[in-house]
Structure 1
Amino acid sequence: LVCHLGGIWLAHELGKSELVSILLVYYATAIVFGVITTFWKISLHAGVNAVLITTINMFYGWHYYWLYGLLYLVMWARVYQKHHTWAQVVVGAGMGTLMIIIGLRLAGLGYSGWSE
């Protein structure tokens, strides 16, 4: 997380305000996941994949919604290998998705053509 803060600082110094906003949303998401993981083994694999897939879709008009099929495969693999329960992977994926949607919308970023 310290290196992530360095990236935020560098983006700020280079005048990349949108990138700073995106990185701050990612940073907040990582902190929330870290806090929850200390109490309950939430799936970071599912969460990170959900964050990336949702970010891609938010910036490219939801043309890549099919990538959520890959997320399901990651979730299935984590349960199959007995690293997580279904509840842990579903909560990880759901939180990753919701935090990015809410965070980027609050920052005024992402695809603006929601009605298309």
Structure 2
Amino acid sequence: MTTQPLTKPAPGTATAQWLTDALEPKNWLLVITLAVGWHAGGWAGIVWGVVAGIFSGVLPILWIKWGERRKLWGDRHVRLRQDRLLVIPGITVSVGSGIAVMMVFDAPPRELLALVVAMMAALAVFLLITTVWKISFHTAVPAGAVAVAVLAFGWWALAAVPLIAMIGWSRLVLSAHTLAQVLAGAAAGAGIAAAVFTWLR
């Protein structure tokens, strides 16, 4: 009896999966909301940064995991474009609720509110794009975060750009996106975030 040889994973697959998981959008959102909150309002700003992070990062991932457990879509990276059309509206509701909470209490630093509104604008644009094309959120979110960081903290924040390139590489190795989708995600994420943040801050 002969045994079939095991198929070896593509070179770099394990590293690519680790990068995709470690540098997923949620983590970028949690970092940038805390950083902008601190920059704009000190310790009080950090408190509001936590609030913004909960509505923009924590609740959305809980929503995704809820659907994953019920097999409404795949894993937390939501690989199928059609599934993203179900996931994005739920995330939009969460981010919109965060904006409402901030505005009702009229307490968050203006820069932090501008950041969260920029997230909402990006979600609206990306939902429209996702109806026909699977643009990359994995590069869009960090690119948007870096764009905001440059505007808020200075040009030194561009030091994080290589991380975006690494994420893009990981999405290509995992066959999760095409090069065009990776580049378009980064360009759209940075452009929308920079425009809205600059306008509202």
TM-score, length basis structure 2: 0.51
CA distance in 2, matches of 1:45, 1:90: 11
**Does 1 or 2 have the higher relative contact order (CA < 8 Å, sep 6+)?**
1
Match of 1:88 among 160, 168, 181: 181
Say which SS state the counterpart of residue 63 (structure 1) adopts: helix
CA distance in 1, matches of 2:114, 2:151: 14
Displacement of 1:22 after TM fit? 2.4
1:83 maps to amino acid: A
After the TM superposition, which residues 1-116 of structure 1 pair with which residues of structure 2 at under 5 Å, given as runs? 1-15=92-106, 16=108, 18=110, 19-107=112-200, 109=201
1:75 maps to amino acid: G
Unaligned runs of 5+ in 1: 110-116
Displacement of 1:106 after TM fit? 1.6
Displacement of 1:17 after TM fit? 6.1
2:170 maps to amino acid: A
Identity of counterpart residues, as a percentage? Answer: 28
CA distance in 2, matches of 1:87, 1:59: 29
Q: Is the 8 A contact 1:11 1:17 kept in 2?
A: no
Count of residue correspondences: 108
2:94 maps to amino acid: C
TM-score, length basis structure 1: 0.86
CA distance in 1, matches of 2:113, 2:195: 16
Say which SS state the counterpart of residue 155 (structure 2) adopts: coil
CA distance in 2, matches of 1:74, 1:102: 23
Displacement of 1:38 after TM fit? 1.6
CA distance in 2, matches of 1:59, 1:17: 12
Displacement of 1:31 after TM fit? 1.1
Moved over 4 A (4+): none
Larger Rg: 2
Unaligned runs of 5+ in 2: 1-91
